[in-house]
Amino acid sequence: MKVYGIIGHPIKHTMSPAMHNAAFKALGIDATYVPFEVSAADLKAAIKSLISLGVCGFNVTIPHKAACMEFLDKIDESAQIIGAVNTVNIKKGKLIGYNTDGRGFLRSLKDDLGITPKEKNFFITGAGGAARAVVSVLVHNGANSVVIVDKIKEKAVELADKYSGSGLVKWLDYKQDWAPYIKKADLLINASPVGMKDSDPSPVNVNLLHRNLSVFDLIYNKHTKLVKAAKAKGINACGGFGMLLYQGVFAFEIWTGKKAPVAIMCNALIAQVSLRGPRTVRWCG
């Protein structure tokens, strides 16, 4: 049996095992997908141990998407541009890194919100691994402007500086007034973990949400306070369910070389969401 998995910290919330194990079963692939709790201090040793254990590939989630790169043997060009890896394929003991987050986000953006990046203005909270992927696809798909804000100023500055030559991306100090930038934005994206816990506030003052704005919260296992507030105002909004699904679809195809059973993977995720609370996502068929 082939073994695949996901590394992150925390990892208990992950729904990826259900999605991938359903896909393996549907295609008759003798494989299993399991979560591995890995702290930042143990990252290097954990990645090396996965090879020793015979793991064939793994996903990478918070907070390791950028840090894992120095421990890989080869990195796909798109992942190099993004500066983050969320999918690793292991071939003959060599670790090859990819990023399917950006492609997953782009697919969900079109399917769930009916939006393409071309000539749109974006406001993004969070500057971690997921934000790196999002900013990359926005810049390379015709965005008009991208504003990034993060509690850790250096992260926002680093990400914005990566695209300084384009003139499209700028960073905003967390303590500055966000209102003028959100007013100009066509899409507000939460790429931070704020909202993952029920006790979390909205990452953005909901009074700043306006009818010409759409909202995309990358948190996928619930309708966050941000998404609920947007919908209450009649604003086009979605969570990160579609992005989770499609990044998984593309990762599955990298590992197996087979076309992923998208509907089966989607319905496996829906079952997980339903087990954790009221269904908040569309049915895939």
Q: Which residues are the active-site residues? A: 65
Each residue of 10-26: b (16+ CB within 10 Å) or e? ebebbbbbbbbbbbbee
| Residue 244 DSSP symbol | H
Neighbours of 267 (CB within 10 A): 17
Return the bridge partners of 35, or none. 6
Closest by CA position to 219, among listed 242, 240, 194, 244: 240
Q: Which residues contact 116 (CB under 8 A, 6 or more apart)?
A: 109, 110, 141, 142
Closest by CA position to 22, among listed 281, 279, 269, 282: 269
**CA separation for the pair 44, 61 (Å, rounded):** 15
- Whether 48 contacts 69, CB under 8 Å: no
